[in-house]
Structure 1
Amino acid sequence: MPADQPPEHAERRTQLQRRTATRTALLAAAAELVVETGVRSATLAAVGERAGYSRGIVTHHFGSKRALFQALAESSQSGFVPGAGAMPPGLGRLLALIDGYIRRMGDGAVAGRAFLLLWVEAATSAELSGVFRERDDGFRADLRGDVAAGIAAGEIRADADPEATAVAVLGQLRGIGMQQLLAPGALDSPRLARAVADQWLRALRP
């Protein structure tokens, strides 16, 4: 420890690291349970037990099952397509998101599968519907921004409709994700990712 760093500062960092590690373990346990036993079986008690903690620690970190699933949805989508967040809005980022999303969903990762299962459950769950409407609204806003920026830069044809394109792209990605969820390994995800990205390139460029 540096000489000018007080011991209590090091202790606070240790507590933060422990809290972060606990939260990460709880989210991983929640994702595993959603995939293995379904959304409704992933209770706070079951999540705590799977992660090696008590139900109380889950409640302490998240407060409710809804908040737990909201955090799981956010963590599943955070950095979902590596590098895309650093790209400027426009056609390049739009194509990177499409390609990366399909590849990521096709890799069979537990977090991605859990997200899709929660998204489906949200259609009939008042507890989850608001959470996933917000997630989809945010995704569509990002896609709209890419289309609008592409039009302004001359990369995308001027008559493209940002709103309609965003809805169509998100619908296609979610639909492909569901097929990957139902038939893991049956789709050639890298090949599909290239084909879909190329489809949108040809549809949008001037």
Structure 2
Amino acid sequence: MRSEQPSLAPRAPRTQEQRRAQTRAALLAAAAELVVESGVRALTLARVGERAGYSRGIVTHHFGSKQAMFEALAKSSQSGFVPGIGDMPPGLERLVALADGYVRELGRDDVAGRAFLLLWAESATAPELSLIFRERDEAFRADLRADVTAGVADGTIRADSDPGDVAAAVLGQLRGIGLQRLLDPAAVDAQRLGRALAVQWRRALSA
């Protein structure tokens, strides 16, 4: 007796919003690839469109300008960079997990992550990038300051720990490790170093 094959239900057509999100994701992925391959200054809207299989007009429609595309790329490549951090309350445990997880994620050599670091390094001398990355770094420091402030309040972090100083030190350390990894991947064992940073900051901050 012949077995019946399960019927395949027709797929629901994608909504306009879903198509737009898919196109935007493809354009950002293409931009990240081009930054890693050719550098920041070689990136153009036309090249992004060509790499993603779209016209320059589509790229302009989504971003408006190269600067706006850089901003979208910076935000998308760091959003949710360390899984699970967004669900943790501010405090010592979140700060330690962030330091550990950030370095471990660097070990994945993700194209978007590498593009972010290249853009960040370039922002020191590129006016069109400096404001974007000053804002991104300040948002990062604000999260770290919140961790220290909460830890001091609940007694897990030493009372003499200055939130601003700790935030600047952690951010500088993480970005610096990222650049080392970018320049010479073999010089940084991301898994081992992530664990070491967790121990370091717990020891330095614990009350």
Same fold (TM over 0.5): yes
Query: Which aligned segments of 4 or more residues in structure 1 are displaced greater than 6 angstroms?
Result: none
Deviations 1:63-102 (CA, angstroms, capped at 9, x unpaired): 0000001000000110011110010000011011101110
**Unpaired runs of 5+ in structure 2?**
1-11
CA distance in 2, matches of 1:172, 1:100: 13
Question: Which one has the largest radius of gyration?
Answer: 2
Larger deviation, residues 181-190 vs 96-105? 181-190
Q: Equivalent residue for 2:170?
A: 169
CA distance in 2, matches of 1:183, 1:55: 34
For 1:133-144, list aligned pairs within 5 A. 133-144=134-145
2:122 corresponds in structure 1 to: 121
Please tell me whether the aligned partners of residues 105 and 180 of structure 1 are also in contact (alpha carbons under 8 angstroms). Answer: yes
SS of alignment partner, residue 35 of structure 2: helix
Amino acid at match of 2:178: G
State the one-letter code of the partner of 1:152: A
1:86-97 matches, cutoff 5 A: 86-97=87-98
The match for 2:73 is 72
Q: Give the superposition deviation at 1:197.
A: 1.2
**Contact 1:106 1:177 (C-alpha < 8 Å) held by counterparts:** no
2:5 match? none
CA contact (8 A) 1:106 1:185 kept: no
Aligned residue type for 2:173 = Q
Equivalent-residue separation in structure 2 for 1:202 and 1:120 (angstroms): 30
Aligned letter for 2:158? R
**Which residue of 1 is the match for residue 202 of structure 2?**
201
Instruction: Please name the residue that 1:190 is paired with.
Output: 191
Which 10-residue stretch deviates more, 108-117 or 183-192?
A: 183-192
SS in 1 for 2:197: helix
Structure 2 Cα separation of the partners of residues 186 and 19 of structure 1: 40
- Cα distance in 1 for partners of 2:105, 2:130 equals 24
The DSSP-based 3-state class of the residue aligned with 1:49 is: helix
Runs of 5+ unmatched residues, structure 1: 1-9
SS in 2 for 1:94: helix
Q: Measure, in 1, the Cα distance between the counterparts of 2:188 and 2:47.
A: 33
What secondary structure, in the 3-state scheme, does the structure 2 residue paired with 1:124 have? coil
Alignment of 1:93-112 (within 5 A): 93-112=94-113
Q: Counterparts of 1:32-51 in structure 2 under 5 Å?
A: 32-51=33-52
Report the alpha carbon displacement of residue 198 of structure 1 after superposing the two structures with TM: 0.6
Post-superposition shift, 1:107?
1.2
Tell me whether 1:23 sits opposite 2:24 in the alignment: yes
How does the TM-score come out when normalised to structure 2?
A: 0.93
TM-score w.r.t. the length of structure 1 is 0.93
Identity rate, percent: 72
Question: How many residues are treated as equivalent by the alignment?
Answer: 196
Distance apart, 1:105 and its partner CA:
1.2
What CA distance in whole angstroms lies between the structure 1 residues aligned with 2:42 and 2:186?
26
- Deviation, structure 1 residue 185: 3.7
